[in-house]
Amino acid sequence: MFFDSRRSSILATNGMVATSQPLAATTGLRVLMEGGNAVDAAIAAAAALNVVEPMSTGVGGDMFALVWDNKEKSVRALNGSGRAPAAANIEELTKKGLSAMPDTGVYSVATPGTVHGWETLLDSCGTMPLSKLLCPAIDYAENGFPVSDIISFQWQQCLGKLSAFPSGTEMLPNGGTPSQGDFVKLPTLAATLRAIAEGGSEAFYNGPIAEKTAAFVQEHGGWLSVEDMATHTSDWDEPISTDYRGVTCWECPPNGQGIAALGALNIAEGFDIRGMGAQSPDAYHHLIESMRLGFADAYQYVADPRKANVPINELTSKEFATTRRALMNSKTAMATVPYGKVLNGSDTVYISVVDGQGNACSFINSVFSNFGSGMVVPGTGIVLHNRASLFSLDPNHANDLAPHKRPYNTIIPGMATIGDELHLSYGMMGAFMQPQGHLQLISNMVDHDMDPQQAINALRFMVGNNNVLLEEGLDPSVARDLQSRGHNVGQITGYNRVSIGGAQIIQRDPDTGVLRGGSEPRKDGCAVGY
C-alpha cells in the first residue's frame, strides 16, 4: 500500500540532492557539479527554497543540520535556531489574558537564526563563499520563477494571513496568491539576499536590515530589538543517537524534538515489527503507541538545555524505553499517555545532500507555520518565523518563555550510520509529523527492507493530540482494526496529504559509493544526481 507514484529511487555516484522543489534541487546539484561539497550544495538549495517555496522557509526562520565527514567518520550537529528576545516575559502575556502563546503576530516572533546558521556551517564545513552560493536564489527572486503545484496550493491558503499586515503584499505578487505555473518575482527579497551575499551575516544582524526588522516588530507591540539581532549566535552541539537493530540513528539534541523519534525507536525495537508485516494493523498499532509515548516525554522535557535541565541521556536510554514499553497493550490503545518519570537527580523545507567523496549534509530550514508569524518586514521580503509560539506560559514548565531562551523546536534533520560508514541522510518536513516520519521511514527500511523511494511512498499514519490520521488508499480493514483497539481514527485525503510529511532520503553504499535517492511524491520536488 503505497502513495500512487511511479517514482523509483534515483541512482548516481558523483553526488545527489533531494528536496521539495526541482529548481532548488538542481541548484544544489549544480553546486556539486562545480566542485562544491555537500554543505555548499545544501546552503545553495536552502537559499533557493527561500524564493521558490517562501511560505515554508527563509532568512527570517531558523535551521538545524547534521554533517557527516567521511574522512573523519564523524557526525556533527549545528543548532541554528533563534532565541526569545531579551524583553520576553510571561507576565506581560498573562496580564493580557493569554493562557498560551499566540500562533501568529509579534509575540510569536523569535530572533531569526537562519543566516548565522548558514554562515557558521559554511565557515566550518564548506568550500565555497556565501556570495556565490546565494547567486541562484537572487536570480530567481529578481528575474522570476514559475510556481509549483503543491506550493501554489499552500500559498493560496495564506491569503488572509498575509493580508493582516500591509507589508504582506510583498508575498502577494500581482496582488494575490499565485496559481500553478504563474511567473513570480520577489524583488524586495532579492535585495535582502544580495545584501547578505555581499556582507554576510553581519549585513543581516547589524545595520539597516536588523533596524527595519526590530522597528517593525516593536511598532506592533513586540519585543525583538536590534540588540537581540546583534547578539545572536549559532551553536555546535554533540549529536544524540540510538541503535535500532544495528542501524545507528542520529538526531540533533534538544531544543529540537529529535529525541522523540529516538525514544519511539527504542520502544518499537522491543517488538517484532518485521514479523507483523508492513502496514499491518499490528505494526501500525505498535508504532503509533510507541510514538505517542515518545511525544509525551518530549512535550514534558524538551527545552533549551542551556536554560533548563533536559535529561537527554535518560530519555534516549534502552532502560527508560523498557519502562515506557511496559505501559503498552498489544490489543488496546492507551486511554491516556503520561510522560515517563526519569531519574536524574509544521511548514518546513528539508534538504539531503551527499557528495562524491561520501560527505553528507542533512539540512532543515523553516519559518514554522506557512508564512510563519504572518509578518513580512517592510521593504525586505523577510518572513518572520513564529517559532516562539511553541513556548509554554507555565513558569514551572521546562519550556517556559524566558529571555534569550530557545523554544521547543519541531525541525529535525536525520542521519543513520552502520558501523563507521554513512548509511542514510534523511529527513521529513512537517512540524510534529517529523519524528513520527523518522520512525516510519527507519522502520520501513530496516524492518521491511524497502529502498528509499519505497520507504517514502509507503502510506503513513499521523498521530495527533487525541487521534491518528491514516492516508487515503490504505486498506479500510486497517482503520477498522485500529478503531476496534480504541484508536480514534480519521483520514487525510487529496492535497491535504502534504501535511503528512515531506520526506527526502539518500542512501550510500560504502563499498561502491553508489547513491540511492528518494523524494516525496506528496510534494513538488525530486532527487537528482550525476
Sheet strand arrangement including 461-463: 461-463, 468-471, 489-492
Based on DSSP, count helices (H) and strands (E) in the chain, helices before strands.
19, 21
Spatial separation of the C-alpha atoms in residues 322 and 320, rounded to whole Å: 5
How many CA atoms are closer than 13 Å to the CA of 212, on its beta-carbon side?
Answer: 19
Provide Rg for the chain, Cα atoms. Answer: 22
- Cβ–Cβ under 8 Å, residues 461 and 490: no
Spatial separation of the C-alpha atoms in residues 440 and 358, rounded to whole Å: 25
Spatial separation of the C-alpha atoms in residues 497 and 492, rounded to whole Å: 6
Spatial separation of the C-alpha atoms in residues 519 and 8, rounded to whole Å: 9
206 secondary structure, DSSP code? S
The residue type found at 421 is E
- Cβ–Cβ under 8 Å, residues 261 and 247: no
Work out the number of other CB atoms within 10 angstroms of the CB of residue 505. 30
Distance of CA 47 to the CA centre of its chain: 15
Looking up cell 529548481, which residue turns up?
23
Cell numbers describing residue 527: 532527487
Long-range contacts, 462-468 (Cβ 8 Å, 24+) = 462/433, 462/436, 462/492, 462/499, 462/500, 462/501, 463/288, 463/291, 463/292, 463/295, 463/436, 468/288
403 secondary structure, DSSP code? T
- Cβ–Cβ under 8 Å, residues 516 and 509: yes
Give yes or no: 348 in active site: yes
Which one from 192, 348, 410, 417 is the annotated catalytic residue? 348
- Cβ–Cβ under 8 Å, residues 228 and 214: yes
Strands 468-471 and 489-492 come out as: parallel
Active-site annotation, residues: 348
